[in-house]
Amino acid sequence: MQKRILGKNGLEVSAIGLGCMGLSFAYGPAMDRGEAIQLIRAAVERGVTLFDTAECYGPFVNEQLVGEALAPVRDQVVIATKFGFRNGDTRLGPDSRPENIRAVADASLKRLKTDRIDLFYQHRVDRTVPIEDVAGTVKALIAAGKVKHFGMSEASAETIRRAHAVQPVTAVQSEYSLWWREPETKIFPTLEALGVGFVPFSPLGRGFLTGAIDEKTQFGAGDFRSSAPRFAPSALKANLALVDLLGQIAAKKGATKAQLALAWLLAQKPWIAPIPGTTKLHRLEENLAAAAVTLTAEDLGQIDAALARIRVEGDRYPAASQAMVDR
C-alpha cells in the first residue's frame, strides 16, 4: 500500500484508509461484531494504516469495536476519532465546549484501548463556541500527550484558518467525490496554503458511484440514505447518468467504477487520503486495488469534460443535518 503525508507535522497514512462508521451506524443494522473485527484486521493485513471512527457512531460502540480490533497492532496504525456532539448523539446538536472536548478525549481513549488519539477531529463546527477555544483545548490535549494531531470536519476555509492560527490543523475531513466537488473551490486553496491534508469521506457517494444502486433501490430502516434528498428515487434516476459515464471510462482502464472513483480522488492532490467504508472483504480488496490504478492527464481531462455535462440532483443531507455544515 502506498503512503501519503497529512499536514506539515508528517502524519503518514496509507493512501486509502478505512471508514469504520458503516460497521455499526448509519446504514442499517450493525455488522456482527466478530465479523467486523475480522474485516478491520483484514484491512491491516492488506496495508491499511488509517482507521476512522467517532464517539457518535453508535454512539460509542464503533470506537469500542475499532479499539478491540486494532489493539494487537496499535503501534502500526493511525486511529482517527471525533468530538463535537452533545452526549455523543448527532440528534442533540453540536457541543464543542472545552469541558466536553476534554471529557470526550478521556472517554474515547478508554473505548479505543489506547493512550493517545492520533488524529482528533472536531466533527462539526459549533457556532456557539469560538473556534479559537476549540483549537486551544485540543492544543492542551496535545501538550498532555493524549492527542497527536488536530483535525476538522466539514469546516469552512475561514474557520480552518482561524483554528490553524492557534493549533496547526493536520487534516480536514469533508465529503468529496465525483458527485460532490465543492471542496475544490471552497477549501482546497486554503489547505494548500496552510499545508493541511484532506481526508474525503463518502468517496464512493455512499455507495452510489459503485453502480450497485439505482432508482428502484429500497433502503431499510436505520439507513441514512432513506432520508437523504440525493437518494430520493427521482434524484437517483437523474444521477445514474454519472454512474453510466463512470462505467464507460472504467471499462477502458480495466477497472471497476469504485476503483476509478477512488483513483480519481488520489490523482487530485498528493495530500488526499480517502476513507471508503465497507462491510464486505471483497469490496475492501476492490477499493484498495484502486491505489494501483493510474490516471493520466488525458484521462483526467476526459473525466472532467464529461462531468461538466452532468448535473447532480439532490442535496447531500436533510435540512437539519445540512444546517450543521460550516459553509
Catalytic residues: 57
Residue with cell 459549533: 126
pLDDT at 306: 85
> 45-59, 169-183, 280-294, 297-311: lowest mean pLDDT where?
297-311
CA atoms within 13 A on the CB side of 21: 19
Measured CA to CA in angstroms, residue 108 lies from 53, 153, 230 at distances of: 10, 18, 32
Homologous superfamily, domain 3-205+268-292: NADP-dependent oxidoreductase domain (3.20.20.100)
> How far is Cα 77 from Cα 70, in angstroms, rounded to an integer?
8
Helix (H) or strand (E) holding 176: none
Which helix (H) or strand (E) segment holds residue 68: the answer is helix 61-70
Distances (CA, A) of 141 to 61, 149, 165, 231, 292: 23, 10, 17, 39, 37
What is the model's pTM? 0.96
- R_g of the chain, CA atoms, integer Å: 19
Cell numbers that stand for 282 in this block? 471483497
Q: Which amino acid would we find at residue 8?
A: K
pLDDT at 86 > cutoff 80:
yes
Residue 327 pLDDT > 80 = no
User: So what's the pLDDT on residue 320?
Assistant: 81
